[in-house]
Amino acid sequence: MSVAVIIVAAGSGSRLGADLPKALVEIGGRTLLEHSLRTALEVSGLVQVVVVAPATHLEAVIELIDGIRTSSAVHVVAGGADRTASVAAGLAALDDGLGDELDDADAQGDLAEPQVVLVHDAARCFTPLDVYERVVDAVRDGWVAVVPGLPVVDTVKVVDERGVVRSTPPREQLRAVQTPQGFVRDELEAAHASGVSATDDAALLEALGHHVLVVEGDPLSFKVTTPADLDRAHRHTASLST
């Protein structure tokens, strides 16, 4: 089963508060998007990457991608008003003429048509390749939807609108989920056709009654969200170069 990766990078990064969209902020001389893209390009069975970029910075993103040597097709499309809309824009870009530009994939027949779609947050820029591979393997094993996740360290409360606790789910049943999330392409497209928004794609499939498998995530898949996360990311890159 061939693989496409959609990297969603169209958010503004309001919590980070930089003067650029978050995906274009640099760590160790590379943008968050470039860190994510370089790993995604290593995924086995890859036939296409779609980068969903801020509409205001399409040219900058195209230029950045031109600077990366790859034999895979990389398309850039403009994002939407929320993450779900950006994923939908990326999914729509999977339809156009896949394989036409892919000599290797053409030679392998239906490999050019991606059947597994991974959706990854550009902001999780240090996600290790083995997480991508774990997710793809589980989809190839027959799961329609697969997400990487880690046990939760805090006790989590469900509260009402006043902040009053309604319940305390047992911690051992909780997972903090990350990306890349992997799906059978047709099912992800069907889930997005509903037009409902959610903070991750798996929730859209859950709503349709699909079983979603959680595989092991990685602490390095933390999402750069706040200035403190950016500091952590800088420390991580600095630790690699010493």
Which residues contact Mg ion by CB under 5 A? 11
Q: Give the DSSP letter of residue 111.
A: G
Question: Which DSSP category does 79 fall into?
Answer: -
Determine, following the binding rule CB under 6 A, whether residue 197 of this chain makes contact with ligand CTP.
no
Place of tokens 């958010």: 11
Q: Which does 149 bind (CB under 5 to 8 A by kind): ligand CTP, Mg ion, none?
A: none
Q: Please provide the size of the chain in residues.
A: 242
| Residues in region 116-135 near ligand CTP by CB under 6 A | 121-123
Nearer Cβ to Mg ion (11/99): 11
Torsion region of 177: left, alpha or beta (phi above 0 gives left; psi -120 to 50 gives alpha): beta
119 contact partners, CB below 8 Å, separation of at least 6: 5, 6, 8, 87, 90, 179, 180, 181, 182, 183, 188, 201
- Tokens 């097709």 locate to 73
130 exposure class (CB count in 10 Å sphere: 0-12, 13-18, 19+): exposed
What letter would DSSP give residue 17?
T
- Of 5, 9, 147, 212, the residue at the interface with ligand CTP (CB under 6 A) is 9
* Residue of the chain from 49, 79, 134, 148 that contacts ligand CTP (CB under 6 A): 79
When binding is defined by CB under 6 A, the residue of 35, 57, 83, 185 that contacts ligand CTP is 83
Figure out which of the listed residues 86, 127, 178, 181 binds ligand CTP, where binding follows CB under 6 A. Answer: 86
Q: Indicate which single residue of 6, 22, 115, 233 sits in contact with ligand CTP (rule: CB under 6 A).
A: 22
What Rg, from alpha-carbon coordinates, does the chain have? 18
Name residue, tokens 């860190």. 35
Question: Does 77 contact ligand CTP by CB under 6 A?
Answer: no
Give yes or no for residue 13 binding ligand CTP (CB under 6 A): yes
Shorter beta-carbon distance to ligand CTP: residue 14 or 242 = 14
> How near is the Cβ of 2 to Mg ion at its closest, in Å?
30
Interaction site with ligand CTP (CB under 6 A): 8-15, 22-23, 52, 79-83, 86, 121-123, 223, 225
